[in-house]
Amino acid sequence: MNFTTTDFIRNIPKTDLHVHLDGSLRLSSLIEMARQRGVKLPSETEEGLRELVFKQRYNNLVEYLEGFSYTVAVLQDAEALEQAAYELALDNQDEGVRYLEVRFAPQLHVRKGLTMDNILISVNNGLARAQQEFNSRPQVTYGAEPPFYYGIIVCAMRMFGPAFSEYYASLFNVHQYSSNNEVFELASYELVRATVRIRDEQGLPIVGIDLAGQEEGYPAENHRRAYDYAQKHFLKKTVHAGEAYGPESIFQAITDLYADRLGHGYHLFSPDLIQSQAITNRQGYVDALARYIADRRITIEVCLTSNLQTMPALTSTKEHAFNQMLKARLSVTLCTDNRLVSRTSVSNEIELALRDFDLTPHLLKSIIIYGFKRSFFPGSYPEKRAYVRQIINYYEKIQHAYGVND
C-alpha cells in the first residue's frame, strides 16, 4: 500500500516538538472561553473567525500574530490554561502523536494575578490528565501500543509590547524607555530562575527553554544570562532562529545560547540576508554553518505551513528550505507551530512534505524517529532509549500492516 495515504500517516507514531499552547486552542473552546470571560472577539462563530482572524494565508507575520491577542486574553486563569492544555493533548493523541512538547510564555498569562507556579501547574494538570487517560487504555497497558508522554517548554521573549515592558520595568526597578533591552534580559533571566525552582519543587516535566519573538533588533545575545542559568541547571535549549532573520541569528542561537535545537531555521541557507560587513564570503559562511549544525546533530523544528503563511515571498511549499535541509543531511523534524493559527496538524505537515518533496519510506521513517530521538524527553536516558525502541517497533508494525517497506 502507498505510504503517503492519510490513513497510514495518522496511524504511525509521531511527535510535535514545536507547538505553541496559545496558538493551538480549539476554535469552539476559544469562543466559549471568550463568552464566559467577557473577551470580545471579531466574530462569535467559527466560520466568522476563520474568515477574519485564523486564515489559510496571511499577508505578513504581523497579521499572523493578531490571533494571539484573543487566545492569550482568554488564557488568564487556571481553568482556561488547564482546559487548553488538556484539549491540545487530546487532539494530538487523536491523530497518532505519542510524544508532545508544549511551549508557551508564562509571563504573558499573569494579567489577573496568576503566579508562575499557578500557570505551570495548571498547564501540567491538563497534560497529565490527558496522559493518564490515554495510558490507561488496555492496548497501552498490555503493551500492544506505546504510551503517550509530554514535556513542557517555557518560552522567554526577545521583547514585550509596551504594557508588559512597563510592568517588568516597574518590577525590576529599571527605567523602561532608556533600557528596554535590560528589561527584556531581566525578564528572561527571572523566568528561567523561576522555571528551575518550580521544576525542582513541584516535580513537573519542564524539559526546556525557548526564546521567541521578533528577531530583528532583539538579538539572542541579550538573553545569554538566562541561557547560562538554564545550561547550569540542566534545562535543554531551543531557540526561534532564522524564521524572520538571516544565518547570523542561527549562529547566535547555537554559540551564545547553546541551542540543542532550532525553531524554524528557515533562513539558514540565505547568504543574501547576512548583515555583517566582516563576513566577506557569505556562501562560505552559510556552508560552514550548515556543516556545523549537521555534524552536531542540532535538530531543526520545521514548520512548513506556518512559514508559508508568514513569508509573502514563499509562494509554495515546494520552495521551502526543507529541501536544502534534507540535501545537507540535517537532523529535522516536522512540527505544527500553531494548530489553530496555522489551521494544521502534524499529519497535515507530513502530507505536505510527502506531496512536495522527494521522501522515500525510509527517509520519512528517519524524520519521524528523529523527533523521538531528539526530543527533550523528561525521563532518564535508559527510559528514553527504551521508549524510542518501543516506538520503532510499533512504527515497523504499522508498516507491515500497510505493506510498506523501507
DSSP label at residue 320: S
**pLDDT tens for residues 319-350?**
999 999 999 999 999 999 999 999 999 999 99
Q: Does the active-site annotation cover 243?
A: yes
Distance CA 224, CA 350 (A): 34
* Predicted confidence (pLDDT) at residue 177 exceeds the cutoff of 50: no
Q: Nearest CA to 301 among 386, 248, 236?
A: 236
Q: Is there a domain that residue 379 lies in?
A: yes
Distance CA 266, CA 285 (A): 16
Higher pLDDT, 165 or 310: 310
DSSP label at residue 323: H
Summarize the confidence of residues 362-383 as an average pLDDT: 97
Q: Is residue 367 within a helix (H) or strand (E), and if so which, with residue range? A: helix 361-373
**pLDDT tens for residues 192-247?**
999 999 999 999 999 999 999 888 788 888 999 999 999 999 999 999 998 878 89
φ and ψ at 241, to 5 degrees?
-155, 140
**C-alpha Rg value of the chain to the nearest Å:** 21
Binned at pLDDT 50, 70 and 90, residue 19 comes out as very high
Q: Using CB atoms within 10 Å of the CB of residue 125, give its burial: 0 to 12 exposed, 13 to 18 middle, 19+ buried.
A: middle
Q: Is there a domain that residue 311 lies in?
A: yes
DSSP label at residue 137: S
Distance CA 158, CA 252 (A): 13
Q: Is there a domain that residue 250 lies in?
A: yes
Q: Which three cell numbers stand for residue 11?
A: 496511524
* Predicted confidence (pLDDT) at residue 379 exceeds the cutoff of 90: yes
**pLDDT tens for residues 46-66?**
999 999 999 988 887 778 888
**pLDDT tens for residues 104-155?**
999 999 877 889 999 999 999 999 999 999 999 999 999 999 999 999 999 9
Q: How far apart are the first and last CA of the chain?
A: 12
Total domains present in the chain: 1
Distance CA 65, CA 81 (A): 19
Q: Using CB atoms within 10 Å of the CB of residue 64, give its burial: 0 to 12 exposed, 13 to 18 middle, 19+ buried.
A: buried
Distance CA 107, CA 191 (A): 8
Q: Which three cell numbers stand for residue 298?
A: 542540532
Q: Is there a domain that residue 226 lies in?
A: yes
Distance CA 10, CA 4 (A): 10
Summarize the confidence of residues 161-180 as an average pLDDT: 54
pTM: 0.95
Q: Nearest CA to 69 among 49, 92, 45?
A: 49
Q: Is there a domain that residue 1 lies in?
A: no
pLDDT at position 167: 55
Binned at pLDDT 50, 70 and 90, residue 162 comes out as low
Domain harbouring 312, CATH code = 3.20.20.140
SS3 (DSSP) at 211: strand
* Predicted confidence (pLDDT) at residue 164 exceeds the cutoff of 70: no
Summarize the confidence of residues 266-283 as an average pLDDT: 94
Q: Which three cell numbers stand for residue 368?
A: 519521524
| Catalytic annotation, pick one of 82, 185, 190, 243 | 243
Place of cell 504510551: 147
**pLDDT tens for residues 257-272?**
999 999 999 999 999 9
Alpha helices by DSSP H, listed for 142-223, are 162-172, 180-202
Distance CA 378, CA 115 (A): 23
**Residue 238 bridge partners (DSSP):** 261
Q: Nearest CA to 393 among 359, 367, 371, 365?
A: 365
Q: Is there a domain that residue 135 lies in?
A: yes
Q: Is there a domain that residue 396 lies in?
A: yes
Chain CA centroid to CA 368, Å: 16
**Residue 278 sits in which domain range?**
6-402
Write down the mean pLDDT value for the chain.
Answer: 92
Distance CA 1, CA 402 (A): 6
DSSP label at residue 375: S
Distance CA 179, CA 323 (A): 41
For the chain, give the percent of residues with pLDDT over 70.
95
Distance CA 175, CA 241 (A): 28
pLDDT at position 178: 44
Highest mean pLDDT: which range of 64-68, 87-91, 185-189, 242-246 = 87-91
Q: Is there a domain that residue 152 lies in?
A: yes
